[in-house]
Chains A and B, each alone.
Chain A
Amino acid sequence: MNDTELDELLDRWSAPPAPASLRASVRSGFAAGLERKASPSVRQWISAFVPGARKRLLAAAVLGVGAFLLIVTQTFPQMLGVSPAKIPYTVDSEFVRYGDALPSAIPLHRIQMYSTSYNLNGREIILSRSLPANPFGTALRRVLDPIQDFLSQLLPFSEQAEWARRAPQVIVGCDDESCLRLTAQPFPRPATGCVDGPIVGHETILNYATTAVQLRWDDHRRITLWTAPDLGCFALRITIEEKRPDGTFRLVSKKQALKVTLNP
């Protein structure tokens, strides 16, 4: 076989063209990268402010305190005011974020967070949460969430009452890519029902009747909440959709209840 014949044979092996979805995936990755840059991680923050020689010492101290608090909060939850007897039910939910590479019907998605929460006077209280892609964040939140809950109970009674009177509020998703901060959305307390707004449907989720209400979230997004009156108006599903240039909507994020536990 000569060189030309070999070249001819080699040319028989063709490669397919790059899929059209590749550009969209790379583009959404670029946007996600910018978001991460805009919200520096804890590690970057430490790097910026702490001299290199002290980093290990600081890390050891943080880990030590964290481990201590973790043990205390997991072993003696009542010490931090988390009293399971006061909680009538808990809901386990997953928070899913959808990419824009594909139609929402065939989602390029990832689970950002699992949470266990309940409603207190219309306000959603997170009892625990885990971030599948961020074990450090999970450990951090396991320590900080009970402490936040504990501190809120130290408020003087009048402030607690004021806090309880405030508008109902649900956790709709993560505030950033790391999911360490959450987006909580207040809603006007309606005269009847759970959320004021146009009803777009009724559905039974996990054996609880829900009413779906759709509201404008901002100029280009809308939010739909499936609230269950029997669970203190807990939203068993929340979706946020973004308007495309052609006027249709694509799913951006979804919070979905996975399990309801009564009298936990």
Chain B
Amino acid sequence: MDLVKAAREGREAAFLQLFDEHHAPLFRFAYRLTRSVADAEDIVQECFLELLRPACSYDPGRTPIRTYLFGVVRNQSLKRCRKNDRAAESDGEGRPGAGDDRSPESQVMRAELEGVVAHAVMQLPETQRDVLILAHYEQMPLAEIARVMALDVGAVKSRLQRARASLKETLAAYAPGVERKP
């Protein structure tokens, strides 16, 4: 029996099975988009509860559940990020690291490489960033990314290429063979 249908009929076991199957990649995706464990937790919770609402637009005949859930997480994350950005702007603060013109050398002294990579990815244009995260970190096929993001496959492919090219430039100083000052 369809798990979503069973969950909507009130079967907790079916709902929890859905959760267990999908929550880990959804949480990772939400975390990478928001860079906040608390926000990611809220978003994933809301994403699963959305499935139970009568107004939920999910149609199992048209979209696989995984694709639908990733789409919901993406939309929720974008909404939350924009809201946070507005709040930060009104507080007179920018996004963390935005407009940072320190040299790569001084940055690496201040932050772990992980932070540098995360920052570089987050500086990509929104769609390039999301495509890259889904393709690289979630190993999602291009066709599925296209469905999540409501783009055609060609657009996904070109955005992925641009994102990677951009990151190669941004992160050139951190390539494994490049020596850096301590």
Contact = CB atoms under 8 A, between A and B. Distances in A.
B136 interface: yes
Nearest to A29: B49
Contacts of B39: none
B174 A10 contact: no
A10 B53 CA distance: 37
B52 interface: yes
A47 B60 CA distance: 26
Contact of A1 (B16, B52, B171): B171
A108 to B, nearest CB: 11
Contacts of B52: 30, 33
Interface in A29-82: 29-31, 33-34, 37
Interface in B62-121: 113-114, 117-118, 121
Contacts of B132: 10
B132 to A, nearest CB: 8
Interface in A5-45: 5-10, 12-19, 21-23, 25-27, 29-31, 33-34, 37
Decide if the interface of chain B is mainly helix, strand, loop or mixed.
helix
Contacts of B168: 1, 6
Contacts of B49: 26, 29-30, 33
B24 A17 contact: yes
Contact of A18 (B32, B41, B53, B177): B41
B164 A18 contact: no
Nearest to B44: A22
Contacts of B121: 10, 13
Interface residues of A, number: 28
Q: Range of interface residues on chain B?
A: 35 or more
B45 interface: yes
A30 B31 contact: no
B142 interface: no
Contact of B16 (A7, A8, A18, A27): A27
Contacts of A13: 32, 114, 117-118, 121, 137
- The CB with the most chain B CB atoms within 10 A, among A3, A7, A18, is that of A18
A15 B19 contact: no
Contact of B37 (A1, A5, A19): A19
B157 interface: no
Interface of B: 7, 10, 12, 15-16, 19-20, 23-24, 27-28, 31-32, 37, 40-41, 44-45, 48-49, 52-53, 113-114, 117-118, 121, 132, 136-137, 164, 167-168, 171-172, 174-177
Please give me the 9 A-B residue pairs with the lowest Cβ-Cβ distance, nearest first: A18-B27, A15-B28, A13-B117, A1-B175, A1-B168, A29-B49, A15-B31, A33-B52, A13-B118
13 contacts: A1-B175, A6-B168, A9-B167, A9-B176, A16-B37, A22-B45, A23-B20, A25-B41, A29-B45, A29-B49, A30-B7, A30-B15, A30-B16
